[in-house]
Amino acid sequence: MTFTQQLRDAAQQNQSMLCVGLDPDTRRLPGAWQGKPEHIYDFCAAIVDASADLVCAFKPQIAYFAADGAEAQLERLIAYIRQRAPQVPVILDAKRGDIGSTATQYAREAFDRYGADAVTLSPFMGFDSIEPYLAYADKGVFLLCRTSNRGGNDLQAQRLASVMGQPLLYEHVATLAQNAWNPDPAVRQVGLVVGATYPNEIARVRQLAPDAPLLIPGVGAQGGDAVATVQAGWNGVGSVVVNSSRAVLYASAGADFAQAARSVAEATRQQLQQAIPTEQGEAETP
C-alpha cells in the first residue's frame, strides 16, 4: 500500500483530517515526568492511545527527540504506533534538505531506521535533494511550500522573473510538486506543506496541485482558522492533513493530560469535518 492510499484509508476509517503532532517538550511534560527526557516515550505513547481513533496521521518532530538524546525512544514510539494503530501513517517531521549521498542517508534514516511513512523536506536545493526519497515507492514526502511563519515571506512570496508567468516562489514549488517532481502520476508521492495562517495561499496551492496531499500546520496554538483551512484546501480529490501539536499535547498539565488531549483532538476533528464544503457531498473522503 502506498502512503497516499494509507492516508486516504485512515482518513476514511476515522472520518478525520486531524494529524496530531508529537512534539514532546520535556519542560511541559505532566506531573513527575516534567524535565525528565526518559519519559518522552511514555508521554507520547499515552497521547497515541488517547487519539489513535481520531486522527488520519501522527507527526513526530525529530528535533524534540534528538535534542534530548531520545532517538531510541522515537524508534520505539513509531514501532508502538505500528502496533497500536497500524492503519494510521506516520509523518516524520525532519525538514531535511541536502543532495547526493547525504540525502540518501537521510532517506535511510527516515524510512529504514525509523520506519516512517512520509517525511517533510526543504526543496530549495532542487529535485536531486528529493529524488533519493522517491526511490522508496511506497513512501511519501511533503515539501515546504508556503509555511506558516512570518519570515516565510522573505523567500516564498518573492516573484520569479525568470520563470514563465512570473509566479511567486511557493507557486513554482507547488507546480513542480504536481508535475515535474512527481515522476509517476499514478503514484502520488509528493505532497506540500502549507500553513493554516494563509488560507488564500492554501487555495492557490490546491489550484496548482489538485491531487497532492496537503499537510497544513498552524491550527490551534499558532492561531490558524480550522474552518477557513478546510474550505481552502478541500476539493474532494487531494488529501487534507491538518496538524495540531501543542493544543492537543498540553491540554492539561495534570494526571488527566491524556483525557484532556483526547477531548481537544475530538473537538478539533469534529470542527474540521463540519467545515467540509457541503457542495462536495458528505460521502467524500478527506
Catalytic annotation, residues: 95
The set of cell numbers assigned to 250 is 498540553
Kind plus residue range of the DSSP H or E element containing 241: strand 240-244
Cα 12 to Cα 17, 18, 139, 178, distances in angstroms: 9, 12, 19, 23
How many Cβ atoms are within 10 Å of 270's Cβ, its own excluded? 15
Cα 45–94–41 angle (5° rounding)?
15
Q: Which residue has the cell 534538505?
A: 97
In terms of Cα–Cα distance, which of 65, 125, 73, 81 is closest to 100?
A: 125
The DSSP secondary structure of 53-100, one letter per residue, reads TT-SEEEEBHHHHHTTT-HHHHHHHHHHHHHH-TTS-BEEEEEE---H
The set of cell numbers assigned to 235 is 476539493
How many Cβ atoms are within 10 Å of 111's Cβ, its own excluded? 19
The set of cell numbers assigned to 39 is 519519559
